[in-house]
């Protein structure tokens, strides 16, 4: 009898532990991957607060100029949305925003610059963000295929001679991960601002920094959840693999004081890239604000990059 009671309690404890692990993984999956339209950054606090006036001016500019709202279908049949700013140019730049953000916010301070540079601009709502459909954010893994979808849409509908891809944070990782896809030949270059190297790398970094958790042991189990609920693997692509297999020129930008995506990640991606490559590391710049901290230098380097690689 006593032995039976001990065994029963053992099974109860084991079951409780398993249940807690499952609930913990489901919480982690929902926290990291499930759509949530609340932005993780704002202009009222943190490093962006200093640049509130620049953001508000950017919002006003974007809202004041003519744009076309356009839609297409993803490879997995999601309705994707974007805003197209026609500048009667033979060169178009596609902008991909970061994690839990939107294009209007992330590119508020750069759309005017690209318009004045003489480019057409496509500001994308990434899947599971803005007006685009989708419930799962995959840290660039599925989003990279949307890059190809949007390039094909732009080519089919506007036929630019030159296409450039640009992204910030997860958007930068997205365009880098797309680099080894069968992109059209008129994709002339990539501009990657503070992108992470791999989904697993940024998950481990954030878990360690924000939750004091070593996520390495749970990544394989979390990956099972991603395969079941998100239909993707955390390990199927990273920037190192993609850039080592791509011949598209790339310009890296990263703030040296980035506390969210370490500057070293751009350096690792830079070293992995086999194509013509450039890098600008900005002193005193936190996550995603290099363009604001060192505007003249960044703008000059982007302008040179676009001119050199356009036909």
Q: What is the pLDDT along the chain (311 residues), one digit of tens a residue?
A: 567 777 878 788 888 888 887 887 888 889 899 999 888 778 888 888 899 999 999 999 999 999 999 999 999 999 999 999 999 999 999 999 999 999 999 999 999 999 999 999 999 999 999 999 999 999 999 999 999 999 999 999 999 999 999 999 999 999 999 999 999 999 999 999 999 999 999 999 999 998 888 989 989 989 999 999 999 999 999 999 999 999 999 999 999 999 999 999 999 999 999 999 999 999 999 999 999 999 999 999 999 999 999 99
The predicted pLDDT at position 231 comes to 95
The predicted pLDDT at position 263 comes to 97
The predicted pLDDT at position 22 comes to 80
pTM: 0.94
Cα separation, 77 vs 93, whole angstroms: 24
- CATH of 43-198+238-309, picked from 3.30.70.100, 3.40.50.300, 3.10.100.10, 3.40.50.1820, is 3.40.50.1820
Supply the Cα-derived Rg of the chain in whole angstroms: 21
The predicted pLDDT at position 51 comes to 93
Which one, of 36, 124, 141, lies nearest residue 81 by Cα?
124
The predicted pLDDT at position 11 comes to 83
Cα separation, 267 vs 255, whole angstroms: 11
Place of tokens 């791999």: 198
The predicted pLDDT at position 1 comes to 53
Give 64's contacts (C-beta < 8 A, 6+ positions apart): none
The predicted pLDDT at position 25 comes to 80
Q: What angle do CA 252, 66, 112 make, to 5 degrees?
A: 30
The predicted pLDDT at position 15 comes to 84
Which one, of 140, 141, 167, 169, lies nearest residue 262 by Cα?
169
Cα separation, 220 vs 130, whole angstroms: 30
For residue 63, give both structure tokens.
Answer: 């809202």
């Amino acid at each position: 009898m006593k032995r039976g009671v001990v065994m029963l309690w053992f099974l109860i404890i084991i079951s409780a532990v398993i249940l807690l692990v499952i609930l913990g993984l489901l919480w982690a999956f929902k926290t990291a991957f499930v759509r949530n339209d609340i932005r993780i950054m704002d202009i009222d606090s943190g490093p962006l607060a200093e640049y509130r006036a620049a953001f508000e001016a950017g919002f006003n500019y974007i809202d004041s100029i003519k744009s076309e709202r356009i839609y297409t279908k993803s490879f997995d049949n999601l309705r994707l949305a974007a805003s197209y700013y026609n500048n009667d140019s033979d060169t178009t730049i596609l902008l991909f925003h970061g994690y839990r953000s939107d294009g209007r916010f992330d590119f508020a301070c750069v759309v005017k610059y690209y318009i004045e540079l003489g480019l057409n601009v496509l500001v994308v709502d990434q899947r599971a963000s803005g007006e685009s459909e989708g419930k799962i954010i995959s840290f660039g893994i599925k989003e990279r295929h949307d890059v190809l979808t949007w390039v094909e849409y732009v080519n089919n509908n506007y036929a630019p001679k030159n296409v450039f891809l640009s992204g910030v944070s997860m958007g930068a990782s997205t365009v880098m991960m797309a680099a080894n896809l069968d992109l059209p030949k008129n994709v002339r270059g990539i501009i990657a601002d503070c992108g992470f190297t791999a989904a697993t790398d940024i998950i481990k970094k954030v878990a360690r920094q924000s939750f004091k958790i070593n996520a390495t042991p749970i990544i394989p189990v979390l990956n099972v959840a991603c395969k079941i609920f998100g239909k993707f693997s955390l390990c199927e692509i990273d920037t190192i693999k993609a850039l080592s297999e791509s011949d598209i020129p790339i310009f890296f930008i990263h703030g040296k004081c980035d506390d969210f995506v370490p500057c070293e990640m751009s350096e690792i991606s830079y070293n992995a890239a086999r194509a013509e490559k450039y890098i600008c590391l900005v002193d005193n710049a936190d996550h995603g604000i290099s363009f604001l901290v060192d505007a003249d230098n960044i703008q000059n380097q982007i302008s040179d990059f676009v001119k050199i690689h356009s036909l």
